[in-house]
Amino acid sequence: MGAAEDRGRSESAINLATLSSRRGRFEVFARLDLMGPDLLVTLWGGAPHIGALGMAVPRPSLRDPGKQSATASVFTFPGHKEDAVAKLLSEGLAARLGRHVVVVAGIHWDGLQPGEIGQITEACEALLGRIALEIEKEAREG
């Protein structure tokens, strides 16, 4: 609790938006919730569930301290494969937005064919940019 107070957090929580992205037959959704200065993204597609969680914090880049990067920790339930997109989105958003980001991901379609996982990943990657734009817009207006 003390660290949160030290960061000057407000007690506000805002459901900002729900976005979606489609590639082929796959549509992936992202619900954005601002928790004070932090961002919670709930990511789902197909049969919604919780498969993995990515938590990222911004930090100076190890290669170029003048640039911002991020470090993520990822937790995955056994048998689930959402860890890659949870890490991708949490790190990408934390680095771009300069805030703590948690991504809870649950994406499942039965009988995926070769190449279809790539389409799902592309849909998630497209959401990263759209999420960042939405948060940046809120910061300017809010």
Residue 77: pLDDT over 50: yes
For the chain, give the percent of residues with pLDDT over 70.
92
How many whole angstroms separate alpha carbon 85 and alpha carbon 108? 13
pLDDT, tens digit (0-9, with 9 covering 90-100), for 4-53: 444 444 567 788 899 999 999 999 999 999 999 999 999 999 999 999 99
Chain center to CA of 79: 21
How many whole angstroms separate alpha carbon 133 and alpha carbon 88? 16
For residue 5, how many C-alpha atoms fall within 13 Å in the half-sphere facing its CB? 2
Domain ranges of the chain: 2-141
At 110 the pLDDT is 95
Residue 114: pLDDT over 90: no
CATH match for 2-141 among 3.30.230.100, 1.10.10.10, 3.90.930.12, 3.20.20.70: 3.30.230.100
pLDDT, tens digit (0-9, with 9 covering 90-100), for 49-76: 999 999 999 999 999 989 999 999 999 9
At 56 the pLDDT is 98
